[in-house]
Structure 1
Amino acid sequence: MAGWTPRNAGAEIEQEPTPVQSCGADGDWYCARIARGEANFEAAGEEAQFELTAFADKKAAQDACQKEKSWSAKYTKAEVPPIPDVASNAYYRNGGGLDGLYLTMCLGTVVAEILLEGEGSSLDPATAHSLAQVFVPRIQKAAAAS
């Protein structure tokens, strides 16, 4: 990404993914994931983390998105402009050593997240939106190739 310096990245494949039916209604939203990857960048003192969680099918991903949205309802909503053709949820989170703006997007069998680290509600939602506009087409291109 132009202007952003990569800091680190990683990926992992679940050797024995948990079946969706074993997750239960109150389970972690990522319970049935089959793979996860992340990349971290920095620019002008801001840090951004991109995370992808892949699921075996679209229904499992949609269920995960709904669980994540329900779970995050306890936090302050962030007004991030909508990303065309993508279901998304944005909120500010401050707790457990984490302070930042989270943007979660549901794209087919993938749940994608952007986390901007910083001083919580002082972060500009426009930054998350502009990063999402870079991230989403890359996810769609990768999904179309698989």
Structure 2
Amino acid sequence: MSIAPRPALPADYPFALKLYIEAIKPFASTWIEWVDEDQKALFASLWRPDDTWIITLNGEDVGWVEFRRTGDEIFLKQLFISSEHQRRGVGSRVMRLLLEERHGAAKSMALFVLKNNPALGFYERHGFGVVQETPTRFVMRRETGDAA
């Protein structure tokens, strides 16, 4: 299994949008009235290819991750793996790569996750703990020096 991240390009937008909608819509619909056109417009305003890696598995695009350094912390904005490639270690490999790549650059990594998203367990298995919550999301954090 060869997992390799590559920098995102503007041409990756349709792939990223499709995966985002497939992954988030079932969970976000619990908290908000999901209107496809509104969500597509929101996604378009937030898409940052410069902060994004496309995740490839044996040369095939299977996911994407967006992250940004803010001071001494990496903020993991998005991590999506296509449903047919989930629970196969792809996300774990990406998490390890992020933590190894960013270890010297930041002291911690933080993220938001919807409370009803099963990814919560994935993040807990990778050492993230809940540090704050809103009515719909958990804020999670872990030190980058910890084992992934």
User: Greater strand share, 1 or 2?
Assistant: 1
- When normalised by structure 2's length, the TM-score is 0.32
